[in-house]
A and B are shown apart, each in its own frame.
Chain A
Amino acid sequence: MSLVVLAMLVGKGICFSQYPAWFFQQGELLCHSVVGYANPSIYRDSAIVEAARNGAEIYARMKKTTLMGGQAFWATEVGTYWMGSNFREEFDTSLILSGRTLNILDSYVSKNIVIVLLSDGSCSKETIRSMRVVKKQSKPDWVESLPASREYYYGVGSAPEYYFEKSSWTEAERLARRNLGRAVVSDVKALQKMGEQGQEIRDEQLQVTLSNIQIAARWKDPQSSLYYVLARMRR
């Protein structure tokens, strides 16, 4: 019987994802920090360098990004059809060089992903030390109820599980930035046509520049294998 219980626990332990606390609650570091991702490699050092390079690009995107484009939907009684989208992000690639001057504070290597924590030296050593602990995290409130604050705009991005875990986190971050942009300004036009069948064309346009974006928190749902990222920006 004890073997059965042990096997179940081991089974759950293998399947549940664990990350350092600074990855789950990056916002609590209270300093300028960026997390970079890389796919695992047999050369551990190379993977960490690759993750730091990725972090430098993320740093540039977080510093200043312009989101533009839009998408349209056609809502009918049968359902809502997607009419296409042309969202895109533009950022100053010269800022990547500044991102390369950041220091690697910590790294975490698992069989699915390599992550590094980068900072410009503004992080307290005590805080970093206390957040190096690897842990599991239960479902945070922000996944379903977005925080309301006079200080920050918030945006949550979620992505499904792709072959590479890096792709899932990258996609969730990209969508968190887009939803953050929507929280700042959103232009929605809708044209309703009422006849024998009701229908509506909805058009959403986005044109906003975000600066000094922070990743406040992350979470991976072990049951649905969904990846969540909470981004914020000062008002």
Chain B
Amino acid sequence: MRQIQTLMFLSLAAMLLVGCGGGAKTMQSAETGDIPDWYLNVPRDPNYLFAVNTATSQDLQLAFDKAITAARAEIGRQVEVKINALQKRFEEETGAGADAQILSSFTQATKTVVSTSLSGSRVSKQKQLRDGNMWRAYVLVEYPVGAANEALMQQIKQNERMYTKFRESQVFKELDEETKKYDEWKKQQNQ
């Protein structure tokens, strides 16, 4: 009888320990390949620019900070590439490349847009996993691409000479169309 009681007591203690220790066993680990889907298949949306990143650290917040900063820098680069391509087309189409003043104004406008664009970016998804004794953070940062177009248009409008020249180009029509689409999209989002 005494043996049965001891056995029962040990079983009870073991069960309590299993209850408490369950967490560690079920803790997700990057080693098990539980990588978020959105990291492997980055979303596509014509209204957004996306950047994903992952980073590790023994400190959880630092792992996130590393990943977020890298993703934001990537968004900045994407905006810059997009606007630089626009600038090149504008120069080719209007011959503005020969006009140093307009070229300088456009370059300044581009720089302003790229530096201010990140304020519209947001971390839309995040996940952390244990990776050995480190934390691995995954982040998805999104940026509404229309916001960059709108910002560029505002910058161009501030310079009358550049704006007059710009209005003649096909690039302007495309940018104007995209800005209008963005305004429509913003209205829909507000509803």
Contacts and interface: CB of A to CB of B under 8 A. Distances in A.
Interface of A: 3-4, 7-15, 71, 73, 75, 79-80, 82, 144-146, 148, 150, 156-160, 175, 179, 182-190, 200, 202, 204, 222-226
B20 interface: yes
A223 B26 contact: yes
Interface of B is mostly: helix
Given A10-B19, A73-B70, 17 more contacts: A8-B15, A11-B15, A14-B16, A82-B57, A146-B125, A146-B126, A150-B190, A158-B60, A175-B61, A182-B68, A188-B73, A190-B73, A190-B76, A204-B72, A223-B22, A224-B27, A225-B23
Contact of B69 (A150, A156, A183, A204): A204
A75 B57 CA distance: 13
B127 interface: yes
Interface in B113-134: 115, 118-119, 121-128, 130
Nearest to A85: B65
Interface string B20-31: 101100111000
Given A3-B11, A158-B61, A190-B76, A146 B123 contact: yes
26 contacts: A7-B15, A7-B16, A8-B19, A11-B15, A13-B19, A14-B19, A15-B22, A79-B56, A80-B70, A82-B57, A82-B62, A144-B36, A144-B125, A148-B124, A156-B126, A179-B123, A190-B76, A190-B77, A202-B69, A202-B70, A204-B69, A204-B72, A223-B23, A224-B23, A224-B130, A226-B60
Contacts, number: 111
Contact of B122 (A150, A157, A183, A204): A183
Given A7-B11, A82-B62, A12 B122 contact: no
Given A7-B15, A12-B22, A183-B122, A188 B66 contact: no
Interface of B: 8, 11-12, 15-20, 22-23, 26-28, 36, 55-57, 60-62, 64-66, 68-70, 72-73, 76-77, 115, 118-119, 121-128, 130, 189-190
Given A12-B22, A80-B66, A148 B122 contact: yes
Nearest to A225: B23
Nearest to B119: A185
Given A11-B20, A15-B19, A146-B123, A188 B118 contact: yes
B163 to A, nearest CB: 27
Contact of A8 (B18, B123, B127, B130): B18
Contacts of B8: 3
Nearest to B115: A187
Nearest to A81: B66
Nearest to A5: B15
